[in-house]
Structure 1
């Protein structure tokens, strides 16, 4: 969750992309970044709407 979208996309492309195929057949990098950020946005907690909220601190 705390990894940048760029590093996630780079890692996936290194693992899954086939360099032997033409570049036009690969997905657009900026579209992959947008898609990654949209999916990560859904996983984030909602912003509080009032001052009555609880802060949860997780110890690692």
Structure 2
């Protein structure tokens, strides 16, 4: 995708940052939301099953 196509679009991380914490927890789940708040959740982990994220973060 070229930079021109990306202009004006926000990433998943940016969208999660602008959400209120309660809404974020409702969208991605409490465990992923707390990992996101600590800065440990990457874009790929956002879409992954919780089981895979827990194994990767060793929660």
TM norm structure 1? 0.25
Greater share of helix: 2
Higher relative contact order (CA 8 A, sep 6+): 1
Question: What is the TM-score when the length of structure 2 is the normalising length?
Answer: 0.25
